[in-house]
Amino acid sequence: MRIKELDAFRGLAALGVVLYHYTTIYSKDFGVESSLYFPHGWLGVPFFFILSGFVITLTIERCTSGWQFLKKRFIRLYPTFWICILITLGVIWITKSQSIDPMFDRPVIDILFNFTMFHELLKFHHVDGAYWSLLPELLFYLLMAFLFMIKKVDKILLYNGALLVICLIHYFFPIPIISRLLDLNYVLLFMIGICFYRIYMSKGKPALYLHALIIANLSLAIALYSVVRPHLELTILLISFPIIVLFFYVFVYLKFEILGRSKFLLFLGFVSYPLYLVHQLVGYIFMLFFDKHMDRSISILLTTSIAVLIATVITYYIEPPLKRIIKKIIFK
């Protein structure tokens, strides 16, 4: 079962993050004045986390074992990630951007550990700042795979209750090791997605406890997000996160079919993963050049188009043959 609206959601979220980096963050990092700002585009990431909770529940129901689930996730994530790291490093090297800003220069050991995708857990710096959201995704996948292996994945919402208790304790009395392994600062957002999947599959007759879990997860997720991201105003979180949840409520009850018919959003959704991975540093390098020769708004538009083009080439021409090779090795 492929739900087209979910692809459209990915496209919207990815575009929001791209515009956030190309306007608000770029202007801040490089001291560039601009009339264009997209200050709340970062919300695409928590949106992605909720969406992942929904999608992974759908995915895991198609798997016969935890190992099969992990293998499929590996094939989905790692080949594209490796390609995007190499492209980013290649653009930095060709343009000699290491001297422009420290963000473009990483020690070799950091670069090598980035290929594991667990580099942050091992205290190594990101090659590209956008990679920070990959670890919460990976740790959530490992949690789901573990529950699958011990035949408890169908009890995930029961474990959600336990996670709420642990997260509440962590909010008042930080639990460093457990917090890192379960990624307590973000895991409740994924749980919200799982709840919405159950509502979606209930055909309009969900159990009341699902709504209670969504409210509890949302409340504590906002509190934890404000701790781990202290630069964000609590008021913004209190307004924006419930709006995201309301968006998903509209989806599960009304289906948002108009978005599922948008070829542009479906296309963006299809290329969203490489777009997210490759857009930031590569885009900054292009914009630093374009800003010298054209209006800022044209520079943003042109850079966004280039990022989408690179993501398209990766998705349609580079990624498939590499995935086929790795799939043969893993599933032989």
Separation between Cα atoms, residue 324 and residue 13, nearest integer Å: 28
Q: In total, how many domains does the chain have?
A: 1
pLDDT at 271: 97
Which of 208, 230, 220 lies closest to 163 in space, CA to CA?
A: 220
Residue 280 structural domain: 4-330
Question: Contact, 192 vs 221, CB < 8 A?
Answer: yes
pLDDT at 1: 66
Tokens of 134: 């990959």
pTM (2 decimals)? 0.95
pLDDT at 102: 85
Separation between Cα atoms, residue 9 and residue 47, nearest integer Å: 9
Q: Over the range 89-104, which residues count as b (16 or more CB within 10 Å of their CB) and which as e? A: bebbeeeebeeeeebb
- Radius of gyration of the CA atoms of the chain, in A: 20
Identify the sign of the CA torsion 211, 212, 218, 221: negative
Question: Contact, 54 vs 201, CB < 8 A?
Answer: no
Tokens of 279: 């857009």
At 82 the three-state DSSP class reads: helix
Binned average pLDDT, 10 residues per bin, the chain of 332 residues: 88 96 95 88 97 94 92 96 98 90 92 97 95 97 95 91 96 92 96 96 84 97 96 95 96 86 94 98 96 94 98 97 93 76
At 184 the three-state DSSP class reads: coil
Cα dihedral: 197, 162, 240, 281 (round 10): -90
pLDDT at 101: 84
Backbone angles phi, psi at 121, to 5 degrees: -60, -30
Q: In whole angstroms, how far apart are CA 112 and each of 87, 119, 154, 157, 273?
A: 14, 9, 37, 37, 21
Separation between Cα atoms, residue 88 and residue 285, nearest integer Å: 10
Q: Find tokens 């999608």 and name the residue.
A: 55
| Greatest Cα pair distance in the chain | 59
Q: Find tokens 């032989």 and name the residue.
A: 332
Q: Find tokens 């990766």 and name the residue.
A: 314
pLDDT at 204: 67
Conformation bin of residue 32: beta by default, left when phi > 0, alpha when psi is -120 to 50: beta
Cα dihedral: 101, 107, 110, 114 (round 10): 60
Question: Contact, 120 vs 111, CB < 8 A?
Answer: no
Q: Could you please report the per-residue DSSP string of 31-48?
A: T---S---TTGGGHHHHH
